[in-house]
């Protein structure tokens, strides 16, 4: 959770940017309401295609690659620009947050990992099987799949990574926020039970769902580790955008995904739309009947 320096754009409209989660140090505030994110070729490819896709209104505008202090950056819109002291939330979408490719690589070299066993018992001493306990080690593939069951990723198809309300600290302690009730409570805290804000978010999410159902980009990509960035402020302005395409990969033609079919190894489904259905349902249930 980092805070950028305030770079004034015009005296009246100071350029503000706050980071909820993700790697600190990967970002710089650029000129004219832009944000620079540490370069990643896969992410550039996605943004180039997204600028030509019907999803364009739901992602930050992309301006290409720029260099700063010998480091390359992808340059995009800072989504906080038109908000006044915004509240921000990052929801990571999908029923798994590693690529099938990462799983294949872990399967090729199946070494028992003591470090992952240690991490596992620190979180949940009951998690290892008898055999894992005897070995004091777990396979990486097992660790990756176990980790997804801690949060709501495996059961709801999305998880709250973190949020920050106006003038407050970041809340990032959601790694074990798993049940529908726990997620509802966290979302209620973020929107401070403001039904106007919930309405705004719901409207936007339903528009997004409609576009996702027909988007050519979405059909032809495995979208993993990507987030929805929620932003609102005390003026009642709300916005939601798709961000973080560092792990989004094009599928080999003619394969396409519906993003709702449950994942089985090899089908590449990511559960993104299933998670969005659940998110919409949970928010709708926060409104008075």
Q: Which residues bind Mg ion (CB under 5 A)?
A: 22, 227, 244, 246
| Terminal-to-terminal C-alpha distance of the chain | 36
Applying the rule CB under 6 A, the residues between 84 and 113 that interact with ligand ATP are 88, 90
Task: Identify which range of 67-75, 76-84, 174-182, 195-203 contacts ligand ATP by CB under 6 A.
Answer: 76-84
Both tokens assigned to 44: 């550039």
The option from ligand ATP, Mg ion, none interacting with 278 (CB < 5 to 8 A, set by class) reads: none
The answer to whether 244 contacts ligand ATP (rule: CB under 6 A) is yes
Q: Which of 95, 152, 227, 278 binds ligand ATP (CB under 6 A)?
A: 227
Applying the rule CB under 6 A, the residues between 147 and 166 that interact with ligand ATP are none
The answer to whether 243 contacts ligand ATP (rule: CB under 6 A) is yes
The option from Mg ion, ligand ATP, none interacting with 76 (CB < 5 to 8 A, set by class) reads: ligand ATP
175 phi, psi to nearest 5 deg: -60, -25
The answer to whether 233 contacts ligand ATP (rule: CB under 6 A) is no
Contact characters 52-71, ligand ATP, x per CB under 6 A: --------x-----------
Least separation, in Å, of the C-beta of 51 and ligand ATP? 14
Query: How far apart are alpha carbons 108 and 96 in whole angstroms?
Result: 20
Query: How far apart are alpha carbons 8 and 4 in whole angstroms?
Result: 12
Closer CB to ligand ATP, residue 37 or residue 96?
37
The option from ligand ATP, Mg ion, none interacting with 97 (CB < 5 to 8 A, set by class) reads: none
The option from Mg ion, ligand ATP, none interacting with 79 (CB < 5 to 8 A, set by class) reads: ligand ATP
Query: How far apart are alpha carbons 42 and 47 in whole angstroms?
Result: 9
Q: Which of 15, 28, 35, 151 binds ligand ATP (CB under 6 A)?
A: 35
The answer to whether 175 contacts ligand ATP (rule: CB under 6 A) is no
* Rounded-to-10 torsion of CA 279, 282, 286, 289: 120
Residues of 57-89 as b/e, b for ≥16 C-beta within 10 angstroms?
Answer: ebbbebbeebeeeeeebbbbbbbbbebeebbbb
Least separation, in Å, of the C-beta of 286 and ligand ATP? 22
Task: Output the DSSP codes for 182-198.
Answer: HHHHHHHHHHTT-HHHH
Query: How far apart are alpha carbons 191 and 197 in whole angstroms?
Result: 7
* Cβ count near 260 (within 10 Å): 17
The answer to whether 4 contacts ligand ATP (rule: CB under 6 A) is no
**Cβ–Cβ < 8 Å for 106, 144:** yes
* Cβ count near 241 (within 10 Å): 18
CB closest to ligand ATP, residue no: 22
Query: How far apart are alpha carbons 254 and 12 in whole angstroms?
Result: 51
Give residues in contact with ligand ATP (CB under 6 A).
19-23, 26, 35, 37, 60, 76-80, 88, 90, 225, 227, 229, 243-244, 246
């Amino acid at each position: 959770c980092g805070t950028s320096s305030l770079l004034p754009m015009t005296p009246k409209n100071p350029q503000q940017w706050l980071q909820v989660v993700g790697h600190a140090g990967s970002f710089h505030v650029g000129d004219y309401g832009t944000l620079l994110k540490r370069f990643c070729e896969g992410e550039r490819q996605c943004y180039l295609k997204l600028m030509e896709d019907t999803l364009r209104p739901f992602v930050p505008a992309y301006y290409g690659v720029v260099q700063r202090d010998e480091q390359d950056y992808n340059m995009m819109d800072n989504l906080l620009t038109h908000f006044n002291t915004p509240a921000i939330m990052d929801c990571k979408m999908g029923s798994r947050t590693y690529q099938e490719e990462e799983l294949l690589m872990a399967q090729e070299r199946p070494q028992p990992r003591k470090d992952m066993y240690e991490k596992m018992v620190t979180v949940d001493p009951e998690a290892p099987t008898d055999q894992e306990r005897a070995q004091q080690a777990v396979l990486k593939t097992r660790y990756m799949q176990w980790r997804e069951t801690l949060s709501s990723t495996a059961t709801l198809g999305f998880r709250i990574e973190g949020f920050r309300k106006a003038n407050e600290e970041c809340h990032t302690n959601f790694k074990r926020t798993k049940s529908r009730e726990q997620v509802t409570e966290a979302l209620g805290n973020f929107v401070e039970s403001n039904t106007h804000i919930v309405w705004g978010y719901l409207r936007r999410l339903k528009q997004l769902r409609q576009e996702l159902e027909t988007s050519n980009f979405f059909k032809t990509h495995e979208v993993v580790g990507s987030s929805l960035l929620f932003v609102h402020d005390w003026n009642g302005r709300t916005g939601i955008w798709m961000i973080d395409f560092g792990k989004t990969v094009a599928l080999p033609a003619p394969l396409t995904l519906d993003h709702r079919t449950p994942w089985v190894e090899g089908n590449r489904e990511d559960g993104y739309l299933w998670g969005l259905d659940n998110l919409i349902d949970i928010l709708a249930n926060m409104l008075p009947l």
